[in-house]
């Protein structure tokens, strides 16, 4: 039942062939300690049993409705559909393969009610595998750990992202419905592909500060071996779409933020992407392409900066591993196993 005394939260769950995980996701959403919810399953022309599962939940809980796309409009297109369906006071787009702490909605609403100037709030996460077994717990970058506040402006977030990449977990986001519906409007995959979410967070930050709750209130399956994200990262050889987002903002809105430190941080971020791509090329038995991307990694200046953080040190270690993959006459089967081991160990 809707409670008019508390803010109404609209939770959209975009789905496509999510039959293996949707029940656990919906159980975690409907099991929230915060009850004034609408849950909209927005299906992208699934061909498995996703719709049958969603319909069962809708028949048992009046808070659940199922929206069917006649054709598959792409993942980011379906996110835009969710923005169009947003209603109530706050809207979250929760993913169909993740599990949510019973307190996540309550904590996020409390934050947004306490900080009316905030446009959105996120949480940190713990990874889980296909069976739900917990893995790595993700924490806020140390630069963002403040005793006085968990509310952040564009310059602070952008500078830290130039150093570490996009550390914001998309499936943890809750925004003011008015921000999503009236200001953001689209998930811009045409310009930014699968990093359109990063563009959304930066567009929100241009208008409002955001909050990041340091607790891992999301159990994130993105690193699981069966996930789309895992497969995409393990086979990626093109530059990360995230870099396209950063370069767009560096050339325009964030141009005045780009001092020597910021430029150096971004150069290391590009180097990290190059090393990841080189590893994938080496795992695919394409040594020439891998070597081209490793040029400059072992220069003294690059090596000395690697010790400024564990994150960048891992990049150099991966570069050495890539050299070994290039030099050793390993069969393709072994190379694939090394690749699987490497990405599985990141979860």
- Alpha carbon distance 303, 294 (integer Å): 12
pLDDT, position 305: 62
Coil, helix or strand for 298?
A: coil
With vertex at residue 317, the alpha carbon angle to CA 337 and CA 342, rounded to the nearest 5 degrees, is: 20
Contact 177, 92 (CB under 8 A): no
pLDDT for 232 beyond 60: no
Give the lowest-confidence range in 100-114, 191-205, 225-239, 316-330.
225-239
Mean pLDDT on 17-37: 97
Confidence of residue 322 (pLDDT cuts 50, 70, 90): confident
Per-residue pLDDT of 290-307, as tens digits, reads 999 988 777 766 656 656
pLDDT for 17 beyond 60: yes
Question: What does the CA dihedral 259, 265, 267, 268 come to, rounded to 10 degrees?
Answer: 170
pLDDT, position 186: 94
pLDDT, position 227: 44
Is residue 214 within a helix (H) or strand (E), and if so which, with residue range? strand 210-220
Confidence of residue 324 (pLDDT cuts 50, 70, 90): confident
- Burial 177-192, CB ≥16 within 10 A → b, else e: bebbbebbeebbbeeb
Q: How many CA atoms within 13 Å lie on the side-chain side of 22? A: 26
Per-residue pLDDT of 85-120, as tens digits, reads 999 999 999 999 999 999 999 999 999 999 999 999
Residue partners of 186: CB distance under 8 A and separation at least 6: 80, 83
> Could you count the other beta carbons within 10 Å of the beta carbon of residue 249?
21
Mean pLDDT on 6-32: 97
> Could you count the other beta carbons within 10 Å of the beta carbon of residue 251?
10
pLDDT for 328 beyond 90: no
Per-residue pLDDT of 275-288, as tens digits, reads 999 989 888 889 89
- For the chain, which domains are there? 9-224 (3.90.550.10), 259-344 (no CATH)
- Alpha carbon distance 332, 344 (integer Å): 18
């Amino acid at each position: 039942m809707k409670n008019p005394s508390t803010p109404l939260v609209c939770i959209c769950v975009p789905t496509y062939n999510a039959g293996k995980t949707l029940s656990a996701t919906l159980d975690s959403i409907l099991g929230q300690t915060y009850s004034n919810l609408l849950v909209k399953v927005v299906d992208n022309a699934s061909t498995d049993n996703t719709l049958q599962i969603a319909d069962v939940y809708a028949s048992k809980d009046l808070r659940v409705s199922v929206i069917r796309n006649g054709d598959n409009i792409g993942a980011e297109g379906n996110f835009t559909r969710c923005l169009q369906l947003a209603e109530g006071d706050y809207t979250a787009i929760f993913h169909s393969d993740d599990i949510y702490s019973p307190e996540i909605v309550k904590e996020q609403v409390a934050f947004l009610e306490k900080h009316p100037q905030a446009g959105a709030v996120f949480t940190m996460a713990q990874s889980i595998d296909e069976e739900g077994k917990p893995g790595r717990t993700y924490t806020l970058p140390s630069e963002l750990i403040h005793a006085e506040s968990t509310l952040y402006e564009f310059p602070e977030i952008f500078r830290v992202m130039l150093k570490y990449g996009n550390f914001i977990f998309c499936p943890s986001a809750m925004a003011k419905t008015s921000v999503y519906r009236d200001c953001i409007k689209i998930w811009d995959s045409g310009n930014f592909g699968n990093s359109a979410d990063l563009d959304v967070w930066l567009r929100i930050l241009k208008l409002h500060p955001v909050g990041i709750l340091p607790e891992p209130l999301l159990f994130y399956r993105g690193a699981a071996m069966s996930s789309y994200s895992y497969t995409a990262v393990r086979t990626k050889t093109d530059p990360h779409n995230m870099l396209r987002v950063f370069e767009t903002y560096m050339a325009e809105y964030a141009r005045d933020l780009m001092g020597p430190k910021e430029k150096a941080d971004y150069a290391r971020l590009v180097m990290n992407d190059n090393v990841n791509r080189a590893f994938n090329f080496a795992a695919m038995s394409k040594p020439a392409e891998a070597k081209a991307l490793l040029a400059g990694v072992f220069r003294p200046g690059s090596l000395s900066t690697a010790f400024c953080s564990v994150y960048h040190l891992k990049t150099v270690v991966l570069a050495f591993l890539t050299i070994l993959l290039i030099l050793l006459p390993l069969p393709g089967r072994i190379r694939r196993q090394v690749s699987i081991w490497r990405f599985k160990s990141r979860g």
